[in-house]
Amino acid sequence: MSVADGANLTRGEMMSLIVRLTIVTAVGFFSMKWIMSQMDPMSKAKKKAKERAESQLRKLGKANSISLSVDTKQLTDYEMMIASHLIDPQDIPVSWEHIAGLDSVIQELKETVILPIRRKELFEDSRLTQAPKGVLLHGPPGCGKTMIAKATARESGTCFINLDVSLLTDKWYGESQKLTAAVFSLAVKIQPCIIFIDEIDSFLRARTSQDHEATAMMKAQFMSLWDGLITDPSCTVIVMGATNRPQDLDRAILRRMPATFHIGLPNEQQRTQVLKLILDKEPTAEDVDAVKLSKLTEGFSGSDLHELCRTASLYRVRDYSREHPNASHQSVPEEDEFHDALRPITHDDLITAFKRMRMSKVQTGGLSNLSKLELD
């Protein structure tokens, strides 16, 4: 019966059957595709990263300092995710002028890292004078390591990947390795490039047998990819690390960072320079004496000095709000008027701030070996 019915199908019925079948197949195909994309846990992140990476690469391509000849279509999804964290050297707010008292380190960096990158042709005949593939900045916290790394990228005009380790760790097995590989493959594509890892000891610390399998694999992969860079003399990719615990680093990592720079606590002369730099653009009274203050601040880091000046400058705000208890309720005065209303920072402010900071440093153990320091 049914066979006979089938045989009796008219041409029109046949056509409508085909159309219906096509529609069902198409709907099935697209809904399957949608479900698959929804099931991919990385899909949203990938899409966002792609948009950001595209705009970032376009911007970098336009910048005169870099001749970026990368087509975004040539990059894989993973490379795109890393590229979304690229920083344009022109956007970095730190330059050499913002760093005081570290002239010898800066000079050495200029000679060993920046010149070989900027004037590659000068060094082509020698393998020995090429830029090192690994640079380690180490020393106590708050002495300017991160600042120096940023300024190096800015001054050398290279792309800068600020590698946040959380970017590489992923809850899905295998994704971390793909991202790690992408860091290096992207860096080679956009070279010259600096891969900066701040607090590198947290990521590449000495390997132990208790390491999680995924972490151990990531470290090993990182090192072998890095070796790939080292053996290729024509590639200008530098891994730059900063740490205040160099003794925790894996020995194999230390070997790959032949250029090491110690950035220690500033001495008296350096502290004077840092204080002068910080107070230079601030409204200060005549009696402020950076030399005297630097004599007192033995054991203070650059960031401590910055904090000291900040605290001192808050005292004048405090005085102002005491004199004008209703100031916060009044309408906001003109900017110039506001500046004039606040008195300048005095030497006494700085000394009061220093005493306060020294006390808290002694209490927290930051100045334990210098606790006998006396005020004159």
* Greatest extent of the chain over all pairs of C-alpha atoms, in Å: 115
- Nearest residue (CB) to Mg ion, 199 versus 211: 199
109 binds ligand ADP (CB under 6 A): no
Computed from CA positions of residues 208, 212, 215, 217, in that sequence, does the dihedral angle turn out positive or negative? Answer: positive
Q: Which two tokens stand for residue 259?
A: 């250029």
Extended beta strands in the chain, E state:
86-87, 134-138, 159-162, 193-198, 237-243, 259-262
Binder among 89, 116, 144, 241 for ligand ADP (CB under 6 A): 144
- Using CB under 5 A, list all residues that contact Mg ion: 146
Quick one: which segment of 6-14, 181-189, 227-235, 300-308 binds ligand ADP (CB under 6 A)? Answer: 300-308
Could you say whether residue 99 binds ligand ADP (CB under 6 A)?
A: yes
Residue 363 backbone class (left: φ over 0; alpha: ψ -120 to 50; beta: rest): alpha
Q: Which of 145, 154, 256, 316 binds ligand ADP (CB under 6 A)?
A: 145
Contact 274, 101 (CB under 8 A): yes
* Alpha carbons 259 and 238: distance in angstroms, whole number: 11
Tokens 């334990």 label which residue?
Answer: 368
Interaction between residue 153 and ligand ADP (CB under 6 A): no
Residue from 42, 96, 123, 141 in contact with ligand ADP (CB under 6 A): 141
Partner that binds at residue 277, options ligand ADP, Mg ion, none, CB closer than 5 to 8 Å by kind: ligand ADP
Q: Which is nearer to ligand ADP, 138 or 219 (CB)?
A: 138
Read off the DSSP letter of residue 112. I
What whole-number distance in Å separates Cα of residue 350 and Cα of residue 271?
14
Nearest CA to 297 out of 365, 354, 372 is that of 354
> Binding partner of residue 130 among Mg ion, ligand ADP, none, CB under 5 to 8 Å per kind?
none
Task: Return the range that interacts with ligand ADP (CB under 6 A); candidates 143-151, 228-236, 251-259, 350-358.
Answer: 143-151
Could you say whether residue 157 binds ligand ADP (CB under 6 A)?
A: no
Residue 274 is a binding residue for ligand ADP (CB under 6 A):
yes
Residue whose beta carbon is closest to ligand ADP: 302
* Minimum distance, C-beta of residue 111 to ligand ADP, in the bound complex (Å): 19
Give the span between the Cα atoms of 25 and 290, in whole angstroms.
79
| Cα separation, 282 vs 305, whole angstroms | 14
Query: Which of residues 235 and 263 has its CB atom nearest to Mg ion in the complex?
Result: 263
Out of Mg ion, ligand ADP, none, what residue 344 binds, judged by CB under 5 to 8 A for its kind, is none
Out of 106, 168, 242, 296, which residue is the one contacting ligand ADP (CB under 6 A)?
Answer: 242
**DSSP code per residue over 23-47:** HHHHHHHHHHHHHHHHH-TTHHHHH
Cα torsion 304, 310, 311, 312: sign: positive
Distance CA 110, CA 127 (A): 18
CA atoms of 22 and 17, how far apart (whole Å): 9
290 touches ligand ADP (CB under 6 A): no
113 binds ligand ADP (CB under 6 A): no
The nearer residue to Mg ion, 66 or 143, going by C-beta atoms, is: 143
Which residues lie below 8 Å from residue 177, measured CB to CB, with a gap of 6+? Answer: 217, 218, 221
Closest CB to ligand ADP among residues 106, 183:
106
Binding mask 305-344 for ligand ADP (x = CB under 6 A): -x--------------------------------------
Compare residues 72 and 146 and give the one whose CB is closer to ligand ADP: 146
- Name the residues that contact ligand ADP, by CB under 6 A: 99-102, 141-147, 242, 274, 277, 302-303, 306
